A and B are shown apart, each in its own frame.
Chain A
């Protein structure tokens, strides 16, 4: 039993990372109707920035973390303004190609600047375990869950209780009407992209100590994040978080207890989740059915 609970907690920790990235995808999709295929690569770039600051410039972990979040925010907003906005009026296909181009570009950029070697990264959390109710939980897992939940909570507070957050929500659901009350919709959407980049950076920085730092850090994570977002409902922030945690726990348990799957088929299982959900209930657990206006 203790073993089972341990797996659950470990699953929650990895799941919270999926949740963070999934939330980024959902934010962007809700605000601009775009699936950002480059979200993972942008997060990788952020993670490298944080790493460079600590490893090559002697910054402390948390100052580097905060600085990286700020830079990521600006980067995300800039990408929206410069690259996404001009292509918004084009076809869906055009936007897909643009985010894919961005994926390729950023992936190459990271390799170009820092090289392709795999690097070990220190975890900001002390090693060791705590025992709660007879279950040994690593401090790193607790720390990961705490950081993600903290970030998500801060984001939620921003969106629910501030004027800015209200304007952002309005811009996402009803851009035309939002303009009429004076909201600068385009800036709000860029702001949304900035926030999404921040979430991605958090996901990347938390994942790096476990999965090692290399240019393809987020490739698999992006797929898990997609699965989580689709599972929870691609337009539901709550769904993204719930989906991420569920997926994390589910994958961990399946990987441990189902022999057929083992460790290498976790990715295809995640993909199976995407396919099954998209086919059975495309709007996900928390999503609302899309109304086709004739």
Chain B
């Protein structure tokens, strides 16, 4: 007798679950009317913060919508950008990408950065939805099934520029390379070692550390015993901050240093004088004469006074423009058509000209140097200022 309420409760629970599932069965995507949905699962919090890239995406989409939308087939359609914050967490990113495509019916994706972009490619391939990304050096993108499009700088360009600059800086040409121990870190270390040796530099120590390391004493030990005056670091910002502080405390004084992945964040200025003189690889500078510079500077320089943040906005703007251009040329808002159209991209963007060869397009690289909260371009020569000594660590 008393099992009846149990059965009632069970039945009620079961019906509720099924009702939930049924209500979740949303109607199919209206691919011929309504806004074109573009999705992005991007790290807006956590170890990496990419709000500037998101702002760039939004700026491009707002610009397009201000003109009534983009031309798709016979009609003009508005574009809707669905942004999800994946908190720099891989699992969250993967689930969010699936949600954006399956639930929100996104017809294309915009990327996050770094390792997340490498991981996102697999989902883009599985879901058969085009993914346009920047913020991942083209040398680091593994080959996939053709749905991922990377328009960004090449790690080799940055390395070559750095070694050329370092050669003129009067060092003993001994290099310490320290990276995070993920795929991006390993590839970075390998590439920079190779190119360094080709440029006549000697790799005194190459170290890989897990993300979240706070104690770099063994790395600094290797550097001092190898007398490395050139420092190449590619880690997430908190790790760089910890290492810079520890280097100062343990009196390790390189003559020239570059912080890949980490010095190009606004948080670098929180290091204060300690961060002065560190070099950073940039995809954009206000003095380089790239397209759309004036618009980006006028709209965002008050919020982001720092050249590298504006560069991230430019990055987002460029990637979104590439995607919007492809949707227009595709004539329809279907993922397959957009993917085919992306292959034939040939346009000028905020980062430079973009034309894909093998899903990759290399954009220009610049080197900047931190000085009292601002970044000044030091390479290539056009629009550059002279290189300062590494006062922060010296």
Q: Check if A and B associate.
A: no
- Chain A residues at the B interface, C-beta cutoff of 8 Å: none
- Chain B residues at the A interface, C-beta cutoff of 8 Å: none
